[in-house]
Chain A
Amino acid sequence: MSRWRYFFKRLLLSVPVLFLTMTFIFVLLRMGPVDPVAARLGPQATGAEAERMRERLGLNDPLWEQYLDFVTSFLTFDLGQSWVVFSGTDVTTIVAITGPPTLWLGFWAILLPLFIGIPLGFYAGLRPNSGGDYLASVSGILWQAMPNFWLCIMILAVLRQTHGGGWLGFDWYTFGPEIRSITGTPDLAFLSINSIETGLITVPLLTGVDWGALAVDIKLILPPALVLGSASMAAELRIGRTAILETINSNYVVTAKAKGLKDRVIIWKHVFRNAMIPLVPVITNEAFLLIGGSVIVESIFNINGLGNAFFQAMTQGDLPLAGALLFIFTLIIIFLNILQDLLYTLIDPRVGYDR
């Protein structure tokens, strides 16, 4: 089986996963403890009005018909309306508002560990048992051992101290692009998009980037992203170190050396690509965790994101919102899984090879 056939097979496998999740959400919504009518009209609603609502929500139809309706509407991204948290608002609208900040946070929370954790791990792995290795490894463990909620508060406390040039000697508020508050939702309006009418369809076109706004958005997201990515940074550091050590002692590296290759070529060509193989699942798995972990960080840093919305929907029994968000999370996870398979397929030619 070729690599790409294997990848295509993995792609197909995500379809049953998607249906299983939707079925689970359906069961949760229809058979869960919350009565949709009561949630809409209040617990005292009875009689004709309640009956009309039942009819309107399609609760009197046969279960299989309800299931089909549910699946088709989810697949067409008709995710229904929120009951409680943002009563009456379309879930798609809520996602359009809360999604971008979370994605922005997640993006940086993946990027920072990727570009700090892995290089540090590789550095430590290439110089095992040196001072630099011990420093990187110990700080990695320390960094991982600090719980996110505590780290959030500490970072906030320290950054607040710098307001007006505190004892750290620099002012975070005016350092680089100026910000008024160190918490809050980034507005992400740095892209100016104009639409061109081409008669039939409207094509959105990127017409410019407001670099100042971008800088502010990045500055705002860095502290929470650092906290959110802290655990993965440490994990990637440690696994990167082990992966390098394992690869550098492997026979094919000795073969490469015996061939007379320069150290630089050996490391960049023969060591790095092989060392990346065990890191791929670590990176993508950490990305899954970010979704769950972002709830705490979002509420402490006062970011109005998906995590926050999901948390509220869960605590207030807003089942359609919770279900829809769960569905979106599933989509993200399936996407990450596919990305992981794609990365594997690109890096390792042995993928999908079975005799």
Chain B
Amino acid sequence: MSLHEHAERTTTRDAPIIEVRNLQTAFFTEKETIRAVDGISFDIRPGETVGIVGESGSGKSVTARSLMRLVDAPGRILEGSSVRFTHLETVREYASTFAGRTVDLSALEETYDPVDLFERNEIDATPAAFGYEHAHEVSLADIVAAGYGDELGIVDEGDCIFITDGTPDSPDAIADGFIEITRLSGEAQRRIRGGRIAMVFQDPLTSLNPVYTVGNQIKEALRLHQGIKGDAATREATALLEAVGIPDARRRVNEYPHQFSGGMRQRAVIAMALACDPELLICDEPTTALDVTIQAQILDLLAELQETRDLAMMFITHDMGVIAEIADRVNVMYAGEVVETADVNTLFADPSHPYTRGLLRSIPGQQTGDRLETIEGNVPTPNEPATSCRFAPRCPEAIDECETVHPVSVPVDEDEPDHTAACLHCPTQLSTDQAVEMHRRRNATRNGGDLE
């Protein structure tokens, strides 16, 4: 690695590789509309592991599938959602390959002012939906990425690469920009899948095709994204299997999935996901179907691979123990919303949302009495826009206002902007009445008022 590249890497170190903003994925059934993911936002940085925890039905897997654009009908990502892939090399490559779908936002910014755009009727959202308090903080990129650009006539339907610093005419000189994943389609979308963002699924026993050899399935990805064929592909596949710790890889590469044990299969699935050197690896409960010793091995393997390849990782699980071991930051999800975000140490030491506290208490061995403490009841189906706290019916600390005010994500403490929770008891430095008033005001902004 040259010095220059190294310098570039360290400067972009803290810049997120993927930014999720106000992601909403809903399933439209005859009976109801299920808002499986209801306006969540988070970032993932290179080399970082972001954990997502929550009970079954809290929207973890739908989040992962939304990022991969694997949500099938009747499910759909709603307008206003934005998932930006900001990996610079990929943006440059896309800008040169898909020149026709590239938009120079810096040029557009001179003609359009976001504040004016907000006053037009086409935008059915408010600054709060973009995560800001005032309209002047919202950038044109936010508006366009969220999909409002089409209605305002700023961008065309197929446009999905947005350059904010640089010009599409010289792709190599682009300094900043992003690929809007929610607007991808066709070839551009397929190149992201597997090539840039790879995914490891929950059940290794069924996620490999039983009628093709493991090697065949790895080589398929190699040929698709890297153009490696024949003997070279076989060698590469063998090397990958070795890298994930499969002994005797030379023979194993020609074996069928049913000849592998569960742990071996998950290793093979990971090898397949890594085949194309992705920037982001999404793991959807990769250890849930495995026994505990194998689980530990797989977690070690993932941590090791992350270190050697500088992978960004999104790790979904319902197991707090696994999260404590692997994640750097944690998003706690409940009924389609992120209710608390914090780095892993803070979350375990100082959980702020009653739901997080409940989850931590229900880890076997953590309870105070003889009986394992649990959170009573089940996750409700989020089938209507939230007008109250969705956790309130199960919450031991609920107050009357929880039934009427929808809590928004706010910093728990003024000193810790990275630790946020969506609870009326937060921020903690305010009295409850003041906090409730703040949430109410933020909600009002959200539902259309404050446009200064």
From the candidates A258, A269, A350, name the one contacting B210 in the complex (CB within 8 A).
A350
Closest B residue to A349 by CB, please name it: B256
Minimum Cβ distance to chain A for residue B272 (Å): 7
Say yes or no: is A260 at the interface (Cβ < 8 Å to chain B).
Answer: yes
Other 17 A-B pairs with CB < 8 A, given A261-B220, A350-B256: A251-B203, A251-B206, A254-B70, A255-B199, A256-B209, A258-B68, A258-B193, A259-B224, A260-B191, A260-B193, A260-B194, A269-B220, A270-B209, A347-B211, A348-B211, A349-B211, A349-B256
Question: Count of B residues near A, CB < 8 Å?
Answer: 30
In the bound complex, what is the Cα–Cα distance between A260 and B194 (angstroms)?
5
Q: List 22 A-B contacts (CB under 8 A).
A: A251-B201, A254-B70, A254-B201, A255-B208, A255-B209, A255-B269, A257-B70, A258-B70, A259-B194, A259-B224, A260-B191, A260-B192, A260-B194, A260-B225, A269-B212, A270-B212, A274-B211, A348-B211, A349-B210, A349-B256, A349-B258, A350-B256
Quick one: CB contact mask for B368-404 with A, threshold 8 Å, 1 for yes?
Answer: 0000000000000000000000000000000000000
- How far is A353 from B256 in the complex, measured between Cα atoms in Å? 11
> In the complex, are the beta carbons of B207 and A251 less than 8 A apart?
yes
Q: Is A250 close to B, CB under 8 A?
A: yes
Chain B residues, CB < 8 A from A353: 258-259
Contact A261 to B207, CB < 8 A, known contacts A349-B256, A353-B258 = no
Scoring A residues 239 to 268 as 1 if CB is less than 8 Å from chain B, else 0, what string do you get? 000000000001110111111111000000
Q: In the bound complex, what is the Cα–Cα distance between A23 and B209 (angstroms)?
A: 45
In the docked arrangement, what's the CA distance between A261 and B194, Å?
A: 9
Residues of A within 8 A of B209 (CB): 252, 255-256, 270, 274
Report yes or no: A255 in contact with B201, Cβ–Cβ below 8 A: yes
Is chain A's interface secondary structure helix, strand, loop, or mixed overall? Answer: helix
Q: Answer whether residue B195 sits at the interface, using C-beta atoms and an 8 A cutoff.
A: yes
When distances are taken between beta carbons in the complex, the residues of chain B under 8 Å from A54 are: none
Verify if B311 is at the interface (C-beta below 8 Å from A): no
- Contact present for A258 and B259 (CB under 8 Å): no
B contacts, CB < 8 Å to A: 68, 70, 190-195, 198-199, 201, 203, 206-213, 220-221, 224-225, 256, 258-259, 269, 272, 276
Report the minimum CB–CB distance from B252 to chain A (whole Å): 14
A348 touches B210 (CB 8 A): yes
Q: Assess the B208–A252 pair: CB atoms within 8 A.
A: yes
Q: How far is the CA of A79 from the CA of B263 in the complex (A)?
A: 59
Summed over the interface, the residue pairs from A and B with CB atoms below 8 Å come to a total of 75
Partner of B207, one of A255, A273, A350: A255
Contact B70 A260 (CB under 8 A): no
What is the minimal beta-carbon distance from A197 to any residue of chain B, in angstroms? 49
Contact B211 A261 (CB under 8 A): no
Known: A254-B70, A353-B258. A259 touches B193 (CB 8 A): yes
Alpha-carbon distance between A348 and B68 when the two chains are bound, in angstroms: 30
Q: How far is the CB of B227 from chain A (nearest CB, A)?
A: 13
Asked if B70 and A262 sit within 8 Å, CB to CB, the answer is no
Q: Which 9 pairs of residues, A with B, have the shortest CB-CB distance?
A: A260-B194, A260-B193, A251-B206, A259-B194, A252-B209, A260-B190, A251-B207, A258-B199, A349-B256
CB distance from A1 to the nearest CB of B (A): 12
Q: How far, in whole Å, are A258 and B71 apart by their CA atoms in the complex?
A: 11
Q: Is the CB of B224 within 8 A of A261?
A: yes
Contact A262 B190 (CB under 8 A): yes
Interface hub of B195, B203, B258 (most chain A Cβ within 10 A): B258
Give CA–CA (A105, B213) in the complex, Å.
Answer: 39
- Which B residues are in CB contact (< 8 Å) with A274? 209-211
What B residues does A349 contact at CB under 8 A? Answer: 210-211, 213, 256, 258
Q: In the assembly, what is the distance between CA of A334 and CA of B198, in Å?
A: 48
Chain A residue numbers with a CB within 8 Å of B68 are 258
Q: Are A259 and B206 in contact (CB under 8 A)?
A: no
Q: Which of A257, A260, A273 has the most CB of B within 10 A?
A: A260
Interface centre among B190, B209, B256, by most chain A C-beta atoms within 10 angstroms, is B209
Per the bound structure, the CA–CA distance linking A261 and B195 in Å amounts to: 10
Query: How far, in whole Å, are A262 and B210 apart by their CA atoms in the complex?
Result: 20
| Residue of A whose beta carbon sits closest to that of B202 | A251
Residues from chain B with Cβ under 8 Å of A250 in the complex: 206
Instruction: Please measure, in the bound complex, the distance between the C-alpha atom of A353 and the C-alpha atom of B257, giving whole angstroms.
Output: 12
Question: Which residues 297-355 of A have a CB within 8 angstroms of B?
Answer: 347-350, 353
Residues of A contacting B194 with CB < 8 Å?
A: 258-261
Complex: how many Å from CA A256 to CA B272? 10
Within 8 A of B (CB), among A217-259: 250-252, 254-259
Q: Which residue of A252, A256, A270 contacts B206 across the interface (Cβ within 8 Å)?
A: A252
Contact pattern, A 190-219, Cβ under 8 Å of B = 1, otherwise 0: 000000000000000000000000000000
Min CB–CB distance B114 → chain A (angstroms)? 34
Q: Write out the residue numbers on chain A whose beta carbons fall within 8 Å of the beta carbon of B276.
A: 260
A277 to B207, CA, bound (A): 18
The complex places the Cα of A256 from the Cα of B211 at a distance, in Å, of 13
Least CB distance from B201 to A in Å reads 6
Give residues of chain A (264-292) contacting chain B, Cβ–Cβ below 8 Å: 269-270, 273-274, 277
